[in-house]
Chains A and B, each alone.
Chain A
């Protein structure tokens, strides 16, 4: 079906069950998914659909109950905490809904938090320039707007030149104009690098800028659609 050489991340029959007291919650019920090099993929679903659980598994924040997860030639299904840490450290960039910047560090220093521990990073200045914040290098988070804080978070995520950029509701805490500005940054970065980017959102509009949209429902992949025309982020509206 797919060209194997292009597959960055592959899941087969991935499940994740939680025990909450006496009930078992089946957050993921068997997900088969391939992420290709350089593609922009949107994971779309309502809350409770399992999209965050899937993102946690893809990002090495959590381990599956069953099924398999491979990153290139590496099997992450049974990876140790140490291996997962290394995986995150070198290959995955995260962007969160609430930015999660370190309040006591400037924009540059926040990015440096990642470049300090990466093998072949961009300089913090370059990373921040990529998101259009070259003028705000020495500002503290409290001196930045929400959109700017999210762009710092993106700069921080891409500074390590990750193979995989995972964005969890990156526009969730922003108004639509600022959100679109943030999406434009992601789009540009996607075009200029071969980083695979996955955005999880409940906002169907964002799917229109993706190469593929994965629809999640009740812990399963309900379907995968390919938009007829990939729209530019600037054209989106909600």
Chain B
């Protein structure tokens, strides 16, 4: 057996080009699995650890103002474990050497010590000293974005009053893993801060002495969460409670969960697609490879080797290649997981992120790769081993050929001998040809999937920021404000247009489905923030009904014409039934829209507005922002271009990186398949090619046969590749749909072109390699060998 083992290694050495190409295919599948699973595992574990070690609360509630004495009563509610009351206040900040407005949230902590729930993870400095005024702990991302360190000072406006704050420390919190502003989609660390302050000091600054406006609590084991929330709502109603919410609705947690869901989709769909494709390709390639060894197998049998020994021999060869590919995939997967996780660490602020590859993922990927290889080789080995050994002794029997239908057509007459050879070669084994074409088509489909992701994300952002969010600035007021404030805004320098809005927190209820969101009141024909349908046409808002984002409507199970129960969580906290007038296709976020006057009526208020959207003359932008910053009624100034930049950067760094990785992988897989097909075909045909050379054909003439076959295979694969790719895209689009965003299923010529060009480029590269081989072909040696 030692000679046979040596042969195994020699075969591997001889087949190194093909083995490497197969290994790349396997590696691609393994890499996507390792990458997705490692990322998912790292984020999930980090989340669990951080939540547990820092006592992340399970239920949250906001009130307008409630006496601290209430806490003791709440503590006694059945199912409640720990309760922590605190003060939260919006804050506007001025950071040295930074011109744009910075918004933030001030959160109180017990004087001089850690809170019981939602504890801080101090990275530098210390908690504010009890009794010392103006000390705060800052969120690490904000501090890092401005290069702030403990001891630095910033200017703040709390409840309209200027204060100077000193940083005592820098910290992370399980409550703010994802630190996006209340109306932002992605974090902007330079313009949004979380600050923790001693309770006495903050209550004093915000007029909350002896009172609280935020509550968080944990539940006893086995407690009924819904029951606790109902009891809380009842107890807090008269203090202006806006409805307690479970952890699931806590903003930071929800974003992280969305992201993890996204990761889960990636972790299931992409590796499945890649591994299936690589298993299939492996099957194609390995069975053809073994096919070329039939003579050798027969010879070994003639020597007296047993079938099982030979099966082991070739199975072992396949496993060696699998191991090579698996190692490659694990290495690349671990490396890219590290890189990707670094990007995620930027958006999700964990105290530590570790990326061990889960052992089960190693085992699973190895098992899958090995199984697919064995499935690929098993049949081929069995067929080869089953052949009688006499085959090796006979001169090679010419293979059977027939005329193909194409040749009998008028076009066929135009074919030269080279064309006929190519066509018959492909037509001789339609099954093999179909397999090769399918293999290339699958990789073309993967290429298309990557290209689609890149294009569709771009389209999604274009639609959101060019067609829907047309304003330059979103102003948010501290409180509902009379409509006439709009007139004042319009007179500010640089304001080209101003459009009012009103937003009210509400729970939408349909049957047993409930969704916490906000009702946004708009003008009848909003211009700066139109509500657009699937074709991008702006729709006027109906006088009465609600317009919902389609994703939200589908989640709630409502269609246009249905009635929705709306529980408003502000003011009189009314419940109302509103008809659903239409569903609209907005790609980012979810929303419920109605006319502002309808919302005002619902709130039993006059024509109040919660804020305004501004269209701004770029020349006066800086001056305008400075002027807005001086208005005490303004709680927040959202800069849309900054928001767009943030979202684009976020998607560029996460999804787009994935997409690029996949385009590269799909390209390598296409190359791997075509190379193997061509290489095997070359081996099968070298005798014929040499004969032609000897007969006086030039190498250029002979190369036409070789290239013709490669290009024809690639050409055949492009159309089915597009079909397969469209399927992959639909699958991914569906899997990626979330509250956060929906990637539209669009197909641009560019997407098709990238897929086709990828195949053509891979074919051309392979063609080049085959030409090099043809030029080095030793015609005499090939002819002398009885094959």
Contact = CB atoms under 8 A, between A and B. Distances in A.
Interface of A: 52, 56, 59, 61-62, 82, 85-86, 88-90, 92, 94, 96, 98, 100-105, 109, 112-114, 116-117, 140-142, 144, 146, 149, 156, 160, 173
Interface string B744-787: 00000000000000000000000000000000000110011011
B783 A85 contact: no
B698 to A, nearest CB: 6
B424 interface: yes
Interface string B390-430: 00000111111110000000000000110011001100100
Nearest to A88: B696
B1 interface: no
A51 B787 CA distance: 21
B688 interface: yes
B691 interface: yes
B691 A102 contact: yes
B783 A96 contact: yes
B780 A90 contact: no
B694 A94 contact: yes
A116 B421 CA distance: 14
A104 B694 contact: no
Interface in B420-447: 420-421, 424-425, 428
Given A94-B695, A98-B396, A105 B420 contact: yes
A104 B696 contact: no
Given A94-B694, A117-B697, A56 B417 contact: no
B428 A104 contact: yes
A103 B417 CA distance: 12
8 contacts: A52-B784, A85-B693, A100-B691, A100-B694, A102-B688, A103-B398, A109-B417, A113-B697
Contacts of A94: 694-695
Contacts of B428: 104
B687 interface: yes
Contacts of B784: 52
Interface string B359-402: 00000000000000000000000000000000000011111111
B680 interface: no
A142 B428 CA distance: 12
Contacts, number: 87
Contacts of B692: 102, 113
Contact of A142 (B397, B694, B697): B397
A142 B400 CA distance: 6
Interface of B: 395-402, 416-417, 420-421, 424-425, 428, 687-688, 691-698, 701, 779-780, 783-784, 786-787
A156 B697 CA distance: 14
Contact of A116 (B400, B417, B694, B780): B417
A102 B693 CA distance: 12
A83 to B, nearest CB: 12
Nearest to B695: A114
Contact of B421 (A98, A105, A142, A173): A105
Closest 3 CB pairs of A and B: A89-B696, A141-B398, A104-B424
A92 B693 CA distance: 12
B417 A140 contact: no
Given A52-B784, A88-B695, A113-B417, A173 B395 contact: yes
- Which of A52, A101, A103, A144 is packed against the most chain B CB atoms within 10 Å? A103
B395 A109 contact: no
B719 to A, nearest CB: 25
B697 A103 contact: no
A56 B424 contact: no
B417 A101 contact: no
Contacts of A62: 780
A82 B688 CA distance: 20
Contacts of A160: 696
Contacts of B420: 104-105, 109
Contact of A61 (B398, B417, B424, B694): B694
B763 to A, nearest CB: 21
A150 to B, nearest CB: 11
A104 B421 contact: yes
Given A96-B691, A149-B398, 4 more contacts: A62-B780, A82-B698, A92-B696, A105-B424
Contact of B399 (A82, A92, A142): A142
Contacts of B696: 85-86, 88-90, 92, 114, 117, 160
Contacts of B401: 103-105, 140, 142
A2 to B, nearest CB: 28
Given A61-B694, A85-B698, A105 B417 contact: yes
Nearest to B696: A89
A234 to B, nearest CB: 25
A55 B441 CA distance: 47
Nearest to A110: B417
A21 to B, nearest CB: 16
A140 B694 contact: no
Contacts of A85: 693, 696-698
Contacts of A89: 695-697
Nearest to B417: A113
B697 A61 contact: no
A62 B395 CA distance: 25
